[in-house]
Amino acid sequence: LKPSACIPGVAASALVAFAAGCNNAPMNTLVPESDLASWITSLYWETVGWLSVILIIVIVLIILVLAKYSTRRTADNLREPPVHLDEHLMLELGWTGGPAFILLLTAIPAVVITFRELPDKYPADALRVEVYAHQWWWEFHYPSLGVNTANEPHLPVNRPVVFELRTDDVIHSFWIPRLGGKSDVIPNHVNRLFLTPFKTGEYYGECAEFCGLSHANMRMRVFVDTKTQFDRWVAGQTGAAHETGLTHTAEAAAGLRVYAGSPCGACHTITGVSTGTTAPNLSHLASRTTIAGGTLPNTPEELAAWIEHPELLKPGAKMPSLALSPVQLSDLVSYLGTLH
Ligand SMILES: [Cu+2]
- Tell me which amino acid residue 79 is: R
| Of residues 261, 283, 289, 278, the one with CA closest to residue 317 | 278
| CA of residue 128 to ligand 1 center, whole Å | 23
| CA of residue 81 to ligand 1 center, whole Å | 63
| CA of residue 223 to ligand 1 center, whole Å | 21
Length of the chain: 340
Q: What angle do CA 326, 214, 192 make, to 5 degrees?
A: 120
| CA of residue 44 to ligand 1 center, whole Å | 25
Most confident listed range (4-13, 96-105, 115-124, 131-140):
131-140
| CA of residue 207 to ligand 1 center, whole Å | 4
Q: Strand 269-270 relative to strand 219-225: parallel, antiparallel, unpaired?
A: unpaired
| CA of residue 212 to ligand 1 center, whole Å | 7
| CA of residue 35 to ligand 1 center, whole Å | 25
Q: What pLDDT digit, counting tens, does each position of 52-99 carry?
A: 998 999 999 999 988 887 766 666 766 677 677 888 999 899 989 988
Contacts of 294 (CB under 8 A, 6+ apart): 151, 152, 204, 206, 219, 220, 221
| CA of residue 170 to ligand 1 center, whole Å | 9
| CA of residue 311 to ligand 1 center, whole Å | 17
Terminal CA-to-CA distance of the chain, rounded, Å? Answer: 59
Q: How many other C-beta atoms are found inside a 10 Å radius of the C-beta of residue 26?
A: 14
Least confident of 84-88, 105-109, 194-198, 310-314: 84-88
| CA of residue 190 to ligand 1 center, whole Å | 17
| CA of residue 215 to ligand 1 center, whole Å | 4
When comparing pLDDT for 308 and 86, which is higher? 308
Q: What pLDDT digit, counting tens, does each position of 188-236 carry?
A: 999 999 999 999 999 999 999 999 999 999 999 999 999 999 999 999 9
3-state secondary structure of 289: coil
| CA of residue 314 to ligand 1 center, whole Å | 13
| CA–CA distance, 335 with 333 (Å, rounded to integer) | 5
pLDDT band at 8 (very low <50, low <70, confident <90, very high): low
Taking CA atoms, 293 is separated from 54, 186, 288, 302, 318, in Å, by 43, 19, 11, 13, 12
| CA of residue 173 to ligand 1 center, whole Å | 7
| CA of residue 80 to ligand 1 center, whole Å | 65
| CA of residue 273 to ligand 1 center, whole Å | 31
Element (H, E) at 148: strand 147-150
Q: How many other C-beta atoms are found inside a 10 Å radius of the C-beta of residue 322?
A: 15
Portion of the chain with pLDDT greater than 90, in percent: 70
Task: Tally the C-alpha atoms within 13 A of residue 308's C-alpha that lie toward its C-beta.
Answer: 15
| CA–CA distance, 300 with 338 (Å, rounded to integer) | 11
Portion of the chain with pLDDT greater than 70, in percent: 88
In this prediction, residue 1 carries a pLDDT of 47
Taking CA atoms, 310 is separated from 76, 212, 260, in Å, by 81, 16, 19
| CA of residue 25 to ligand 1 center, whole Å | 21
Q: Phi and psi at residue 314, in whole multiples of 5°?
A: -145, 100
Q: Residue 125, exposed/middle/buried by CB under 10 A (0-12, 13-18, 19+)? A: exposed
| CA–CA distance, 55 with 77 (Å, rounded to integer) | 32
| CA of residue 185 to ligand 1 center, whole Å | 10
Q: How many other C-beta atoms are found inside a 10 Å radius of the C-beta of residue 30?
A: 14
| CA of residue 336 to ligand 1 center, whole Å | 28
pLDDT at 21 exceeding the cut of 80 = no
| CA of residue 193 to ligand 1 center, whole Å | 17
Strand-pairing partners, residue 180, are: 176
pLDDT band at 245 (very low <50, low <70, confident <90, very high): very low
Q: What is the pTM of this model?
A: 0.87
pLDDT band at 167 (very low <50, low <70, confident <90, very high): very high
Task: Tabulate helix, strand, coil % of the chain (nearest 5).
Answer: 40, 20, 40
In this prediction, residue 145 carries a pLDDT of 96
| CA of residue 211 to ligand 1 center, whole Å | 4
| CA–CA distance, 113 with 106 (Å, rounded to integer) | 11
Q: Residue 64, exposed/middle/buried by CB under 10 A (0-12, 13-18, 19+)? A: exposed
